């Protein structure tokens, strides 16, 4: 019996599955992602798997066979040369580049654990994550080595591998890009800490002569595959433990739900979302790859003109993204003049898809953009809108195969259809827990159910609409900003007495980050605080609005009440930024 067959009568959404989509996927009982990746390489061989496209159109590519061979070599380097063991953590701090699948797949094949790490992290953010994950090796891009240099002294001799973003490009193209970086752009910082270059690491791995397939035989679906860091329900950054089984199941669920809409070996998917984000990691890097798709990797989608040559030169059939991306593209003259003619459909996640954006995208491209819902803790997919024309705007669709989602009352009882409640979810994609945080795990996992912290409503047909977030997480262009972290950064300034950080509606971008500050030093300015925060947290987390107040609403025990802050200061006028700051943003 498949996992939830006994509950079929209680799943009204099954009636709205596209033809041929199963109610349940078969339980993944053996094997690992490494086995699935090797099988994809055997099936698709010399077909192009990944192409990285620079803004000027320069590109490099790897076939499925290339990725299989090179990732095996990296697995051998980890196990035979460095001496890592199954379960050791490898931090992957890379933008979208050809090295990403080589390193990530090699880490998975070695039985080690991928710790996806934002390459734009500040030194403080990077240090926190790497130390919490207790990493045994770090892979980074040399263009961002200056930040890594701040952290290396704290890593107690942890080996570092560096790659150039143009590694695996044709020789002459690689040379041109490196010259531009060194001489014209001057974006290559000197590297003064011990490291190994990725091409050398691969050569060392290959020279061992060992069989990388042996490591895969040590693995099973319960083996840990990734630590995907998230703020979860409390805003304290922690690693969601995603197993091989979690990620395989979610890939099968999403691909199974897409059915015949995604044709094996014939799709070309634009990967503008960063692969370190769980959405792109599961859907693009793993899901589409395992279906034989050609991934077009965009190292930096800002400005959006960086995507122009990718759309011009490749027959894009799928785009994954957030509302900001879809809205922005439909305001680009070059995109309006030449919308992608081969586009079948697009997938939106990470933040709410605005109905006006979805409508405009349909008008411009002649193809739909449909919305799904999930969390890092669910690998990430939980619900998705049907691709057969049955999508319902304003909803995040229906639960995926082998997934049960229910709005839940405060007492833990299921809410009635049409009644708001916290969304609880159950399925084979639900994480094993938070890394080394059993107390935090107990707060969100109960008898196989994941408490999402989001408030939703399910209609009579099983379609889910997100009503509100019970968490205080702010969504900026699809990325989570945790108020605790921003408040900590601002509170470290000597001129700040108290601070509360909240989200403010920002139209197509989702939300803006607003800081309401009680000053200790009356002379401190918004620009001074903004500059201070920028040294401690990534740019999208830095508040774009500062409001100064005499006091903040608090509870009887002195806890600042963010809900009341939002209400009390909803109409407050933020202190204006300097012209230079406005221009920079």
Q: Is the pLDDT of residue 558 over 70?
A: no
Q: How confident is the model at residue 6 (pLDDT cuts 50, 70, 90)?
A: very low
Give the relative orientation of helices 33-44 and 244-258 as an angle to the nearest 10 degrees.
50
Report the chain's mean pLDDT, rounded to a whole number.
Answer: 91
Average pLDDT over residues 329-333: 95
Task: Please give the pLDDT value at position 9.
Answer: 59
Going 113 to 117 to 122 to 125, the CA torsion angle's sign is negative
Cα–Cα dist 126/147, whole Å: 8
Cα–Cα dist 273/284, whole Å: 9
Task: Please give the pLDDT value at position 181.
Answer: 75
- Among 29-43, 110-124, 176-190, 446-460, the least confident range: 176-190
Q: Is the pLDDT of residue 579 over 50?
A: no
Bridge partner list, 501: 515
Strand locations in 64-167 (E): 89-93, 113-116, 137-141, 160-163
Considering only CA atoms, which of 169, 85, 160, 91 is closest in space to residue 132? 91
Q: How confident is the model at residue 182 (pLDDT cuts 50, 70, 90)?
A: confident
* Helix, strand counts (H, E) of the chain: 20, 27
CB-CB contact of 485 with 454 (8 Å): no
- Among 8-12, 160-164, 581-585, the least confident range: 581-585
When the candidates are 3.30.300.30, 3.30.70.2500, 3.30.70.890, 3.40.50.620, the CATH number that belongs to 474-584 is 3.30.300.30
Within 273-340, residue ranges assigned H as helices are 278-280, 289-290, 308-313, 323-329, 333-337
CB-CB contact of 574 with 525 (8 Å): no
Cα–Cα dist 475/511, whole Å: 6
Task: Please give the pLDDT value at position 575.
Answer: 87
Instruction: Return residue ranges of the chain for CATH 3.40.50.980.
Output: 32-37+56-219
Q: How confident is the model at residue 52 (pLDDT cuts 50, 70, 90)?
A: very high
Task: Please give the pLDDT value at position 578.
Answer: 61
3-state secondary structure of 401: coil
Give the relative orientation of helices 526-534 and 483-491 as an angle to the nearest 10 degrees.
110
Considering only CA atoms, which of 354, 343, 377, 348 is closest in space to residue 508? 354
3-state secondary structure of 143: helix
490 sits in which H/E element = helix 483-491
Q: Is the pLDDT of residue 216 over 70?
A: yes
Q: CA 551, 555, 557, 562: dihedral to nearest 10 degrees? A: -70
DSSP β-ladder status, 268-271 and 318-321? parallel
pLDDT tens, residue by residue, 274-311: 999 999 999 999 999 999 999 999 999 989 999 999 99
Instruction: Return residue ranges of the chain for CATH 3.30.300.30.
Output: 474-584
Core vs surface per residue 535-566: b (16+ CB within 10 A) or e: ebbbebbbbbbbbbbeebbeeeeeebebeebb
CB-CB contact of 466 with 352 (8 Å): yes
Task: Please give the pLDDT value at position 469.
Answer: 66
359 sits in which H/E element = helix 355-365
Name the more confident of 533 and 469: 533
Measured CA distances, 498 to 184, 337, 362, 489, 568 (Å): 44, 50, 46, 12, 16
Q: How confident is the model at residue 235 (pLDDT cuts 50, 70, 90)?
A: low
Cα–Cα dist 503/161, whole Å: 38
DSSP string, 431-475: -SEETT-HHHHHHHEETTEEEEEEEEEE-TTS-EEEEEESS--EE
Average pLDDT over residues 189-203: 96
Specify the long-range contacts of residues 125-131, CB closer than 8 Å, at least 24 apart.
Answer: 125/536, 125/537, 125/538, 126/93, 126/150, 126/151, 127/151, 127/154, 128/237, 129/91, 129/229, 129/237, 130/91, 130/155, 130/158, 131/155
Q: Running DSSP on this structure, what letter comes out for residue 525?
A: -
133 sits in which H/E element = helix 123-133
Question: Is the domain 32-37+56-219 a CATH 3.40.50.2300 member?
Answer: no
Average pLDDT over residues 32-46: 98
Average pLDDT over residues 82-103: 98
Average pLDDT over residues 429-453: 95
């Amino acid at each position: 019996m498949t996992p939830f067959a006994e509950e079929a009568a209680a799943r009204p959404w099954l009636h709205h599955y596209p033809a041929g989509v199963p109610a349940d996927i078969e339980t993944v009982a053996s094997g690992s992602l490494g086995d699935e990746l090797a099988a994809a390489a055997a099936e698709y061989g010399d077909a192009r798997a990944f192409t990285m496209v620079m803004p000027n159109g320069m590109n490099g590519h790897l076939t499925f066979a290339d990725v299989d061979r090179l990732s095996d070599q990296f697995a051998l380097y980890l196990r035979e040369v460095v001496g890592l063991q199954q379960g050791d953590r490898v931090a992957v701090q890379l933008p979208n580049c050809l090295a990403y699948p080589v390193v990530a797949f090699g880490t998975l094949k070695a039985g080690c654990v991928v710790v996806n790490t934002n390459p734009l992290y500040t030194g403080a953010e990077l240090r926190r994550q790497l130390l919490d994950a207790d990493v045994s090796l770090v892979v980074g891009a040399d263009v961002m080595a200056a930040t890594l240099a701040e952290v290396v002294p704290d890593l107690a001799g942890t080996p570092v591998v560096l790659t150039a973003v143009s590694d695996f490009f044709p020789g002459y193209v690689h040379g041109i890009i490196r010259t531009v970086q060194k001489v014209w752009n001057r974006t290559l910082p000197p590297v003064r800490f011990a490291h190994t270059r990725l091409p050398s690491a691969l050569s060392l791995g290959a020279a061992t002569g060992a069989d990388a397939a042996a490591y895969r035989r040590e693995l099973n679906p319960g083996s840990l595959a990734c630590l995907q860091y998230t703020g979860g329900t409390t805003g304290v950054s922690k690693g969601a433990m995603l197993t091989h089984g979690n990620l395989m199941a979610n890939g099968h669920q999403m691909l199974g739900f897409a059915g015949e809409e995604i044709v094996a070996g014939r799709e070309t998917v634009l990967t503008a979302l960063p692969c370190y984000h769980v959405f792109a990691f599961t859907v693009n890097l793993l899901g589409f790859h395992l279906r034989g798709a050609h991934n077009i990797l965009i190292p930096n989608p800002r400005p959006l003109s960086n995507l122009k040559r990718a759309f011009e030169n490749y027959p894009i059939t799928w785009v994954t993204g957030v509302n900001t991306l879809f809205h922005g593209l439909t305001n680009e003259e070059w995109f309006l003049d030449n919308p992608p003619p081969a586009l079948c459909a697009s997938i939106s996640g990470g933040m709410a898809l605005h109905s006006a954006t979805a409508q405009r995208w349909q008008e411009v491209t002649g193809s739909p953009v449909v919305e799904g819902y999930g969390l890092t803790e669910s690998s990430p997919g939980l619900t998705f809108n049907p691709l057969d024309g049955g999508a319902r705007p304003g909803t995040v669709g229906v639960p995926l195969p082998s997934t049960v989602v229910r709005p839940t009352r405060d007492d833990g009882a299921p809410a009635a259809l049409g009644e708001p409640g916290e969304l609880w979810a159950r399925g084979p994609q639900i994480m094993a827990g938070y890394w080394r945080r059993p107390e935090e795990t107990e707060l969100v996992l109960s008898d196989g159910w994941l408490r999402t912290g989001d408030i939703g409503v399910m209609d009579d047909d099983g379609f889910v609409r997100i009503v509100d977030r019970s968490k205080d997480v702010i969504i900026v262009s699809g990325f989570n900003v945790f108020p605790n972290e921003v408040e900590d950064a601002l509170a470290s300034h000597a001129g700040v007495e108290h601070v509360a950080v909240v989200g403010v509606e920002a139209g197509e971008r989702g939300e803006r980050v607003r800081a309401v500050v009680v000053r200790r030093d009356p002379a401190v300015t918004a620009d001074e605080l903004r500059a201070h925060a920028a040294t401690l947290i990534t740019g999208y987390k830095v508040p774009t609005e500062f409001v100064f107040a005499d006091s903040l609403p608090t509870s009887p025990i002195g806890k600042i009440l963010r809900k009341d802050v939002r209400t009390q200061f909803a109409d407050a006028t933020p202190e204006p930024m300097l012209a230079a700051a406005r221009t920079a943003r």
